[in-house]
Structure 1
Amino acid sequence: MSDKPSDDHSSASEIPDDVWEQFIRDAERDTRGSAPKEPSARARMVTERLRRQEERGESPPGWRTGPVSPETNGRAGRRRTLWAVLGVPVAVAVALVALKPSLLPGDPFGTGESAAAEASPLPAESAAPTAAPGASDPEPPTLDEPFAGSPALRWADGEAGIVLPEAKAVGPVSKDRVEQALKLTRKLLVAANLDPETVRGERPEAALSLLDPKQPGLLDDLNTALRAPSGTHDPVTMFSRFDPDEIRPAGDVIKTRGRMTFEKGSHAGVAVRADYTFVYPVTRADGSTEVTRTIVRRVLDVELADPAHYRVTPGRLTVRKYDEEIGNSTCDVNDGYLHPEFPSRREKGPDPTGPTTDPYDRSRSLDDGHACGTVTRT
């Protein structure tokens, strides 16, 4: 046997100790979880030395990475802590977006209009619509969001929804006369449908003061309806009124949409047609937080006649025709008030005899009949 050491032994003896130490650490890390192997005598020796150095606090720095500064280690710790805190909210946000992609700005998935567009106000109605408004998200109304799930969410608030057309002379009727007729009609719509006193069931004095007392029968009929409402004389045919003992407004906003047109009248004056829909969010007066909506569409034909040729009161309107369609109000109750139905208290009764209609559909003409029907949405 030769006394010359083997090539393997010579190569091993020429490897520095720090290299061997790093090799052992890397090997232990890379082979963790694999089948255990019996370490060599050299490996056991180096391992034992490393263990003793660690016990004395003398472990050498990493071979490839170099020393780890306390600052770097702190940043890593903070990042781990931050992700641990943000993990749950981020997961919730991802779930919400998956259920409703429209929550993301800009509509990245091409699902339709962006959230900003969906909530932006509609321009004023300048012509008769050709179809009903599109479907809305089926969200129930609440006290905080009384118009949720309604096309009226994008309608104007109250008086802002009654936009007058530009006044122009019609035949012998001057532009100023036309403008006066338009403004008086607007005042009548506001007083009869938006005035807080009228809506909460009080006598609509402001609206009555705009009507010509010389018009035969009208004021007498309206006063009779307000004093002793009945099936033949009910003030809700002209005024939007709720019983304050039964109903409270859900907020201060009534949504309004419609248009106004004019032409030469039959009494040397100007005739105005107003076609407007009003949406009233309400809750019960018993303290309930449940919200529902009543939708009232009114078509009103009035004329500002020429007092120089006819026996009329200057500055007062003559009503030629008025018609209404009411969505979500109990039928066959003629006590002078609108009676909204709430989903939780909708009573089972006889099937409605009238047609099923969309109360937001302003493309339809109003029929003379007022059969009790069903609305497709509120």
Structure 2
Amino acid sequence: MSDRRSEQSSGDEPSSPSISDEVWQQFLSDSERDIRKSAPKEPSARAREVTQRLKKQKGEPEGWRTGPAWQEMNGRAARRRKAWAVIGVPLAIAVAVVAMRPSLIPGDPFGSSAGSSAGSSSGASSGTDSATSPLPDETAAPTAPPSAVAADTPTLAHPFAGSPALRWADGAAGIVLPKATALGAIPKDRVELALQQTKKLLVDANLNPDVVAGARPEAALSVLDPKQPHVLDDLDSSLRSPSKTRDPLFLFSRFDPKDVKLAGKVIKTRGRITFAKGKFEGVAVHADYTFVYPVVRADGSTEVARTIVRRVIDVELPDATRYQVTPGRLTLLRYDEDAGNSACGIDDGYLHPQFPSQAPTGSAAPTGPSIDPYDRSRQLGKGPQGCGTVSRT
């Protein structure tokens, strides 16, 4: 679904293969070059298609005083979903070597020094979460995945042990809104309303414990415009009768309470929100967030697994004086989603995490290359749809 190395602050340095500084430096340079070459840089085909249609508008927007140009997008928001099953391949050799001998890394190229030694001691040594320092808020798109962290087994007491999310913000505290400013003739208070409504959507859809446990996301639905054709009907239908094509997981994070429940009260959150003037003379808001859910089985087991969900949504608060819209409600333009560690081929409207002690579940075998679900530098909507594997949870 973004910082990439950990260091030890104390204790004996672990033994490691003998690697010359020149060979190691060349390895790092080659790896970084290959990663940058392979990083997706283009929007999804659906997003490009929607953009091209919107660019064709000339003069007054189509639907002037009758409603936003719904027919430009057939009334529906562009949507994509991709699931990634439980770990299917080992971590890369580079990560393994770094874990054995982190002192080989010169400097702090991924900005992970703050709290990295604490993370090492809390993970491998003491097993506590309290010694880590939180990451600063994300203010720009990351350029690399998060650092490798010391391997550790999550527990009920420390459900984020061994995860980069250990240093992420807790819940809604991770959804930090930018300062609202006027956008030309659009006043500051309308911008602020668009931002607050977007946060309300994100919080209820992904962080409300009742919604995560399968309840209807009433607050999230309440901020969407009922006058936008099909959108609310499609979402209602997906919640009532989930299917492969109408899946509530497109927009909402949900687990079947008969199978799993949250391990504790904390869901880790990281991402960012930006805003600009929109296509419908209103405030366009772009949100890109990753949520990490630690869960246990509902049968009383204490084994903890983590599912990582990344969401990218685009909404707009149109100008209600120019379009026939519901004032204060958001128009949903796009929603993309990736789910890491959720079984393939199950379309019942719930995420299905795989636990290490269980045999793989799901009706479809994972296919495709492995991805890092914590990698927030990766662009969603790129490549074929389907179910792949993840390198870590």
Separation (CA, whole Å) in 2 of partners of 1:171 and 1:279: 37
Q: Which among 135, 138, 151 is matched to residue 122 of structure 1? A: 135
CA gap of 1:348–1:268, structure 2 versus 1, over 3 A, is closer
- Residue 374 in structure 1 maps to residue 377 in structure 2: no
Separation (CA, whole Å) in 1 of partners of 2:119 and 2:290: 24
Cα distance, 1:116 vs. partner? 7.1
Cα distance, 1:353 vs. partner? 1.8
* CA offsets 1:327-373 (integer angstroms, 9 cap, x no match): 00001100010000001103288752233110000001102543100
CA gap of 1:128–1:110, structure 2 versus 1, over 3 A, is closer
Separation (CA, whole Å) in 2 of partners of 1:155 and 1:252: 15
Cα distance, 1:179 vs. partner? 1.1
Separation (CA, whole Å) in 2 of partners of 1:259 and 1:306: 24
**Percent identity for Structure 1 against Structure 2:** 64
Query: What's 1:176 paired with?
Result: 189
Equivalent position amino acid for 2:334 in 1:
K
| TM-score, L = length of structure 2 | 0.67
Q: Which among 187, 192, 195 is matched to residue 208 of structure 2? A: 195
Mind listing any 5+ residue stretches in structure 2 that lack a counterpart? Answer: 1-9, 16-100, 104-112, 121-130
Write the mapping of 1:311-330 to structure 2, written as runs, cut at 5 A: 311-330=324-343
Separation (CA, whole Å) in 2 of partners of 1:286 and 1:252: 18
Q: Contact between 1:140 and 1:149, CA under 8 Å: does it hold in 2?
A: yes
Mind listing any 5+ residue stretches in structure 1 that lack a counterpart? Answer: 1-95, 102-108
Q: Which among 242, 246, 249 is matched to residue 236 of structure 1? A: 249
Query: What's 2:57 paired with?
Result: none
* CA offsets 1:170-192 (integer angstroms, 9 cap, x no match): 12211111111111100100010
Cα distance, 1:267 vs. partner? 1.0
Q: Secondary structure of 1:345's match? A: coil
Q: Secondary structure of 1:241's match? A: coil
Separation (CA, whole Å) in 2 of partners of 1:175 and 1:147: 38
Separation (CA, whole Å) in 2 of partners of 1:318 and 1:231: 24
Write the mapping of 1:199-348 to structure 2, written as runs, cut at 5 A: 199-347=212-360
Equivalent position amino acid for 2:316 in 1:
E
Separation (CA, whole Å) in 2 of partners of 1:226 and 1:318: 19
- Residue 365 in structure 1 maps to residue 368 in structure 2: no
Separation (CA, whole Å) in 1 of partners of 2:261 and 2:119: 30
Separation (CA, whole Å) in 1 of partners of 2:392 and 2:11: 27
Q: Secondary structure of 2:357's match? A: helix
Q: Contact between 2:235 and 2:246, CA under 8 Å: does it hold in 1?
A: yes
Equivalent position amino acid for 2:390 in 1:
V
Q: Contact between 2:214 and 2:255, CA under 8 Å: does it hold in 1?
A: yes
Q: Secondary structure of 1:211's match? A: coil
Q: Secondary structure of 1:178's match? A: helix
Separation (CA, whole Å) in 1 of partners of 2:195 and 2:236: 25
Cα distance, 1:264 vs. partner? 0.4
Separation (CA, whole Å) in 1 of partners of 2:239 and 2:361: 30
Separation (CA, whole Å) in 2 of partners of 1:144 and 1:356: 29
CA gap of 1:264–1:191, structure 2 versus 1, over 3 A, is same
Query: What's 2:106 paired with?
Result: none
Q: Secondary structure of 2:273's match? A: strand
Q: Contact between 1:325 and 1:370, CA under 8 Å: does it hold in 2?
A: no
CA gap of 1:287–1:110, structure 2 versus 1, over 3 A, is closer
Q: Secondary structure of 2:291's match? A: strand
**Aligned residue pair count:** 276
CA gap of 1:264–1:347, structure 2 versus 1, over 3 A, is same
Cα distance, 1:97 vs. partner? 4.4
CA gap of 1:246–1:261, structure 2 versus 1, over 3 A, is same
Query: What's 2:23 paired with?
Result: none
Cα distance, 1:217 vs. partner? 0.4
Separation (CA, whole Å) in 1 of partners of 2:11 and 2:265: 32
* Larger Rg belongs to: 1
Separation (CA, whole Å) in 2 of partners of 1:304 and 1:158: 25
- Residue 133 in structure 1 maps to residue 146 in structure 2: yes
Query: What's 2:161 paired with?
Result: 148
More helix per residue: 1
- Higher relative contact order at CA 8 Å, sep ≥6: structure 1 or structure 2? 2
Separation (CA, whole Å) in 2 of partners of 1:169 and 1:374: 44
Separation (CA, whole Å) in 1 of partners of 2:265 and 2:365: 34
CA gap of 1:99–1:201, structure 2 versus 1, over 3 A, is farther
| TM-score, L = length of structure 1 | 0.70
Equivalent position amino acid for 1:190 in 2:
V
Equivalent position amino acid for 1:157 in 2:
D
